[in-house]
Each structure stands twice: as C-alpha cells, then as structure tokens.
Amino acid sequence: MIMPRTAHTGACLIFATFAIFAMAALATSDTHAQQFPAKPIRLLVGFAPGGGTDIVARILAPKLTAAWNQQVVIDNRTGATGTIAAGVVARANPDGYTLLMGHASTNTIAPALYAKLPFDPHKDFAPITLAGSVPHLVSVHPSVPVRTIKELIALAKANPGQWTTPSSGHGSMSHIAGEVFKHVTGTNFTHVPYKGAGLSVQDLIAGQVKVSFDTTAAVMPFVKSGKLRALAAAAPKRLSSLPDLPTVIEAGVPGYAMSSWYGVFAPAGTPAAIVRTIHAEVNRAQDLPDVKSHMEQLGSDDTRTSTPEIFAAMVKADIVRFAAVVKAAGIRIE
C-alpha cells in the first residue's frame, strides 16, 4: 500500500519530533551528568555507627567528597535490619543526591523474611557498584572457655540455649550466619538482636553477650587487640589477614561459609549517565592505596571489577539464594 503524500509527510514529522525529543532527553541527561554533583550528597546507612556497613561508608565518603568537591554526608537511619534507610532511598528523587550503602541483609535477605517491606527490592533501586565483600568470623568473648570450633559445639550442646549470640538485627547477615551454624551443627544459642553491629560488638567486648558470627569488618580490630578470640573464619579459604586461623570447614563443619557484601544503590530511574559517574568515582576511590589497605585489613575481597550490570545480577541471584537459605534454616521474623 502506497501512503498518501500528506500522511507520509505527517508520519515523517511525527518521527522527526520524537527523534528531537529523544536527542534532547539524552543531551539533558549528559548535561546533568557533567554537572553532577552540584550540591551535597546524602549516603544513607541502615545501621548504627561502628558496624561494617557504616565503616565501609566512612572509608569511601571522604574520598568522594574530595573528588567531587561536594560533601558526602553519612546519614545513619537505623532499624528493621536496614530496611528503614532503604525505604527512604527508594522513595527519594532519582537524581543521584540520595544514595544507599546497601547490605546483603537489607537488599537480598529481607525479602525472604518480611511479608511487607517499604520498598520493592527488584524495582525500586538502581544498583551502582559493589563496595566490599567480607567473610564472617566465629569469635567469642575471652571468658568463654573454648579455643576451637569443636570445643564451642561441645559447650553449646552441653548447655543448650545458655550461650548468647548477638546480631545487628533480626534477619541481618550476622543473625543468618548464627542460625545456619546452629542448623548445621545441631547446637542452640540464644539470639540477641541489636540495631547495628557497632552496638552488638560493644556488648560482646563487655561480655554481656558471648559468641559472635559477625563480619571481619565488625570484629577484626578487637580480635587483633585481644579483646575477642577468633575461633575460625567462615570463608572458603584462610584469610591473608589471619593466616594461622583455620576456616570453619577445616575445623570440621563441611560447607559452612558466610560472607557479607556492601554496595552503593541509587533510586530506580536515576539517569544512567549519573549512575556511571558515581560508579567510576567509587571505583577510583577503591583503587587508592590507603582505601585498599583499609579494606584488606577488614578482610574485604577485591571488588574493582564490579559494574552496575554485574552488581545488579549478583543482587538478583542472592535474593533467590538467600530465600532458599532462610527456608532451609527455618528462620522466621515475627
């Protein structure tokens, strides 16, 4: 069918108009990215100061502030395993000025534990980059009369429920790590939730709680200082920062390995050019010698190969993986 000249001309005009609007939108997006950031940025952390998520945020924030000549302000919004902070970011204007230092427990475990969340983990975020990944340690207050995993299991079985284990909140990775350990070893500890690892570790050091399954980022300084005793690393291989410490697998618990990751998220709909700008600057910060050294001291893996696409795929896969872990361990949030 041959289109009449007038209709053909109209169609061309419509197509040209759409093309102009599309090019204008792309130009506007690129202009915003070139100008970004033009004001301070809020980086929300869903846990109290002193925990792993907060520590990683505070390592990176000064480097981003210096690079952009705009203040990157840490905003600790504690509660509900980080989901309160995540909800704030999910509802924020998608312009790159409100970001989340996300955590595995908040962005991938919470969907399996909570019937209702203040965000949709699949639709409400633009994953930007992995900021760090750290293994967990099994550690105890020095008053606990054990020095190996086998001794801890024997002690727990002889005194079921007597020994307390803290976490940074119901459904946090430290909670999950403890529950999985109980499940695979047939032991029973009493879980004591806090509003962040910083608070739980304070009570652990004070001896108010006794057995920890928290991350290297949260407990490593106190293990090094002797305020806590590490029994084993919940990692597939020994840690370079603690080469004499066996893994939990080596200590006789097959397959037990737990790690937590931290990552930067923006609200869904944030322009791709701004996402790329933030990603590139975080990666540059991760390459700085003092940042690399600090992260290595925390036991973090090298994450500089992360991209928004790789990070998004990892988050999606972890949502599925942790749903199976939570179901197998029979964990419930009332």
| Homologous superfamily of 38-133+259-329 | Bordetella uptake gene, domain 1 (3.40.190.150)
Q: What is the per-residue pLDDT for 2?
A: 42
Q: What is the per-residue pLDDT for 326?
A: 85
d(CA 152, CA 157): 9
CATH assignment of 135-234, among 3.40.50.880, 3.40.50.10320, 3.40.190.10, 3.40.50.1360: 3.40.190.10
Q: What is the per-residue pLDDT for 304?
A: 59
* Fold agreement (38-133+259-329, 135-234): yes
d(CA 43, CA 262): 13
Q: What is the per-residue pLDDT for 3?
A: 46
Give 57-102 pLDDT, tens digit per residue: 999 999 999 999 999 999 999 988 899 999 999 999 999 999 999 9
Q: What is the per-residue pLDDT for 328?
A: 79
Q: What is the per-residue pLDDT for 196?
A: 84
CA dihedral 269, 44, 208, 329 (to 10 degrees): 10
Fill in the DSSP letter of residue 216: H
Sketch the domain layout of the chain as residue ranges.
38-133+259-329, 135-234
Q: What is the per-residue pLDDT for 31?
A: 54
Q: What is the pTM of this model?
A: 0.81
Amino acid identity of residue 134, one-letter, is V
Q: Which residues of the chain have pLDDT under 50?
A: 1-5, 7-8, 11, 13-16, 22, 25, 27, 29
d(CA 297, CA 241): 6
Q: What is the per-residue pLDDT for 302?
A: 61
Fill in the DSSP letter of residue 247: B
d(CA 86, CA 6): 53
d(CA 130, CA 107): 12
